Structure 1
Amino acid sequence: MKLLNTKNLAALSLTAAMGMASTSAMALAFPDFQVDEGSVPGGTVANVFTADKITGNYVEIATFDPAGTFDVSIQWQAGQFVANDGTLPVVTQLGSFGPGGYGLYALFQGSGTFATVGSVTTFNFASGSLGLYLDPSQNTTFTAPATGNVAWTTGNTGDDILIGTGSILSGAGTLNPTLSTCVPGAGINCGSFGTTSSFELTNAGKLYFISPDPFHNLVFNSGQLNSFVPVGTQEINGSMDAIFGQRTVPEPTTVALMGLGLLGLGLRRRKA
């Protein structure tokens, strides 16, 4: 009878762990969010819409150290909101030159390690931070830094608004110039990268991103790498998309079940 209870506890522990893994996987889906463009200062057209992805282009300055570390400073310009699991463009005022038009951009700095084996280079992020901004007048200027460990310089930012901040939690990328998708001579789509960062809205951001409430606390960025040589300081450009997700905390019951399961496994090991 005691052996049967031990087995049951072990099964409960496995079930709880599988439940947690499922929850983590779900965070990588395309959750919806709502935007209220009427909250942008100076806007004259109210527009509330639902989307699940933001697409855009980026330019980054990356500095590679011979010791195998790198620093990157990225400037990203949002170009479009997309819905229906990233398949349906949404009509918005982002980038419009008419009434209510505005810009949306992000600045990101990160660092990590890299290694090249043959022609393939892999990257792993260790730390980083980001800021997401509204540009109501669409007149912000950007000046690239000399090295990847320095932030971009911005101008005409008197009316810009910080709406979200975050810190990198994980990230990796691969550069492979020999890929069939890497167009000879142009170096397009020679690799990819992805990062997961925490995300927190400012008070102004809560007026722009209105749902869910509280808002998603993760942002997943994924992009493609055009060809470059990971030596010294490089200017790299490409496309990068962003989706949001929710980092969940296990329910107390789940934690308790896992604890009981581990206890059961411990008892079983002692008897063995």
Structure 2
Amino acid sequence: MYDFSADSADCVRSVEAGLSDVLTGARLSGPGPAAERLVEAMRHGSLEGGKRLRPLLVRQAAAIFSVSREAALPAGLAVEMIHCYSLIHDDLPAMDDDALRRGRPTVHKAFDEATAILAGDALLTQAFAILADPRCHPDPDVRVALVAELAAGSGAGGMVGGQMRDIEGEEGSFSETDIATMQAMKTGALIRAAVRMGAMLGGADPRALSALTAYAEAAGRAFQLADDILDVTATQEAMGKATGKDAGAGKQTLVSRLGLDEARKNLDAIVADAISALRTFGPRADGLRATARYFAARKR
């Protein structure tokens, strides 16, 4: 029987060790030596915290096709590095202006704004270096597909574009459809990429990839809606970051439109949609099912 707690804890340990190994001066140096302060800032923004849910999704999707945890780890590290870079940049004064992340000072507070920007840039760049490395997958066609998938999920049509839409939404003119589109890009696109990359590692056929994409899109909606609910209901101590900021910043969320009770009903329905998309995979997809349920039940 699948054990979500054990699998997620193992993933946290593996990702922490993998990132610690990658984020060193020796590994990051190229034509010239990587600056020590930059490496320290990259490590501060990536290590010792985080639930590592996106790498978990990579390994769970890959496991459906009998890909080992070890073989799925490099792609998971690449997705997590993109996620960490996005958090470093989101916390900057020009964006969300946060002083706390994972219970610690944000990178621009621990170092300075310029270093935080560069640390995010370097994490973004290194993510694609990991995917291009033959150690990620022996087939160069698969590596190219992984690069393209992560670029699509994290770029102007994905995570970064969603952040831009989020800023535009502070003017208060968004419809519920606009909010859903923004959230599908800002948060959902990277979750979608993680699941699809796991499937690609396993050589999923078009039908299987389509089913997993439907799951991932619903799971992404569930994660963001749960996050918006927690911004209203959770404490800063529980979350390890400031809460209650969405309303203060005029951010458009479904919680602000629907209210908490209706938002919670919607969350339950979205999780049911995600789980339903996995019906063709049987017990092999129990990990993904458990993660969708976790998205809705999490307290931080």
TM-score class normalised by the smaller sequence: under 0.3
Question: Normalized per residue, which structure has more strand?
Answer: 1
User: TM-score by structure 1 length?
Assistant: 0.21
User: TM-score by structure 2 length?
Assistant: 0.20
Question: Normalized per residue, which structure has more helix?
Answer: 2
Bigger relative contact order, structure 1 or 2, given CA contacts below 8 A and separation 6+? 1
Which one has the largest radius of gyration? 1
